[in-house]
Structure 1
């Protein structure tokens, strides 16, 4: 017989060979490892900032015809990294007829900020602080024994912020006992008015901020050619933001791990003596046997 087809099976003689190649290719693909997935990226460091003193004042001089901004900053540090600054005084020139004005003097004043990929922390502390304004050479705006602000932002934890002003302070020469219930107003006739906000703190899911003292100032000393001083003075402020979480690394999958993940829950392949590749081997072996049998029959018919 010269026919290349088998009447009994109805399949070309070359199909067993093609089927065999297909099975081998399927087994090869099943055994090849999957391409590696991209690994996670390293999280960004947090941020922290601490400041002992910051002023935003407007000084009206020469019969209020000229305005001089007073933007003084003492011990302002920022992170990422690790930064510490200790300065005990800050003064400005060119306000009181060319004479320097000492805005702040302190027995101790430190600002510290540190931030990395696990935590961000800031702390501002001042002891024995004396704050003065232009036009008030004798009577200080504020005197305080101890002022502290701290903010902490750690991965996996709720941010925290705290500010402390223990005891009393002196404002425009008057002793004031501060409370956390609300702002405290201090008025001195012929001098001016000051509103103090004590120990303010705010937190969110990723940030924290603490301010020991905020002073809203409106002073008219009527001396030294200074007509009026208005604005804000902030003592001991600390802020932070939580570092971004590090994404976990994703390992590449292989055929074995894919088969294991697809196995029924509660069955252990080791209990049956099989492995994760057993289904592939059994299926491939069955196809090979069927393909070999078909090829043998086809060969015998061609020979007959």
Structure 2
């Protein structure tokens, strides 16, 4: 019966087995190094955006809906951006002319990952947001909004958002509440729902959005029948870098290795005897089976052997003489 299992013979010397094992390790080593290593997010992640839109624009003279997905200053680590205006062009809206979505005095987004720390921030000041069909009336006006997140290896992530100054929605000054969304209705224009300072953290991630708006307006202008969807202002997210493993504690000098028992010497059974000093007492020889009388016994045995040999010679000579 054929078998793919190799069983080492008991006759193979230990040195040959060790050499074969070392050769197998050298062959398997490069294959193990070539295997893919998965370390997604090991260095952490960070991202920030000043404005993100997810809107659907329905047109008056066409039975179509135009998606409007746009971002301003969207960055991922390690980057930063500073741009204060965002315009888009939509087919069928205002005869193909650009629609300005946002204008701000300050619009910055930053993200970085280094030294076991991932962080991101976004800042928007003196900003006005428009939607298609409402070129003169701002959907929302804000004084300043900021978001900041920090994810550091081995620590709880932190997320923070702030709204500073006044807010106007469809021309109305509003006071936002942290307890829930604030709804603003304008007759013949539409409804806007605002939610303030949403933050979320887990053991390894953080996310913050200074202001989120749910929009449903009926401008009936510039060939726009309805605009629905969501907008997010000053958003930041991060993921903590992987915590580096602590290095193994080196063994202190002179510290005995308790895990390794002393090896038995099977190749040189007489090595301990040969290593004894000549100055050691003779009584120590008892460990090998000898004693101090060993020399006398050996001498006596020699004399007996010599006497016996002489007796044999004399006997043989007498026998020959008598014969």
Structure 2 length-normalised TM: 0.67
Give the structure 2 partner of residue 143 of structure 1: 141
Residue 90, structure 1, aligned to residue 74, structure 2:
no
Provide, for residues 73-105 of structure 1, a one-character-per-residue CA deviation record: whole Å limited to 9, x for no partner: 0001111xx311000101011332211100001
1:192 deviates by: 0.6
Residue 218 (structure 1) aligned to one of 216, 237, 250: 216
Residue 272 (structure 2) aligned to one of 268, 285, 288: 288
Residue 178 (structure 1) aligned to one of 150, 172, 176: 176
Give the structure 2 partner of residue 241 of structure 1: 239
Residue 73, structure 1, aligned to residue 57, structure 2:
no
Structure 1 length-normalised TM: 0.71
Q: Which has the higher contact order (CA 8 A, sep 6+)?
A: 1
Q: Which runs of 5+ in 1 are unaligned?
A: 1-41, 263-276
1:253 deviates by: 6.0
Bigger-Rg structure (1/2): 2
- Partners in 2 of 1:60 and 1:293 — Cα distance? 110
Give the structure 2 partner of residue 191 of structure 1: 189
Matches within 5 A, 1:1-304: 44-63=42-61, 65-79=63-77, 82-94=78-90, 95-250=93-248, 257-259=255-257, 288=272, 297=290
- Partners in 2 of 1:89 and 1:258 — Cα distance? 71
- Partners in 1 of 2:182 and 2:147 — Cα distance? 19
1:72 deviates by: 1.1
Higher strand share: 1
1:167–1:252 Cα change, 3 Å? closer
Q: Which runs of 5+ in 2 are unaligned?
A: 1-38, 266-270, 277-283, 302-323
- Partners in 2 of 1:167 and 1:254 — Cα distance? 62
1:258–1:294 Cα change, 3 Å? closer
What is the SS of the residue equivalent to 1:59?
A: strand
What is the SS of the residue equivalent to 1:166?
A: strand
Provide, for residues 96-140 of structure 1, a one-character-per-residue CA deviation record: whole Å limited to 9, x for no partner: 221110000100110000112411110000101000000001111
1:231–1:258 Cα change, 3 Å? farther
1:254–1:149 Cα change, 3 Å? closer
1:169–1:64 Cα change, 3 Å? farther
- Partners in 1 of 2:124 and 2:56 — Cα distance? 24
Provide, for residues 199-255 of structure 1, a one-character-per-residue CA deviation record: whole Å limited to 9, x for no partner: 010111111111000000011111121111011100000111111001122367699
- Partners in 2 of 1:114 and 1:78 — Cα distance? 8
- Partners in 1 of 2:227 and 2:139 — Cα distance? 11
1:156 deviates by: 3.0
| Count of residues paired in the alignment | 241
The root-mean-square deviation of aligned C-alpha atoms, in Å, is 3.4
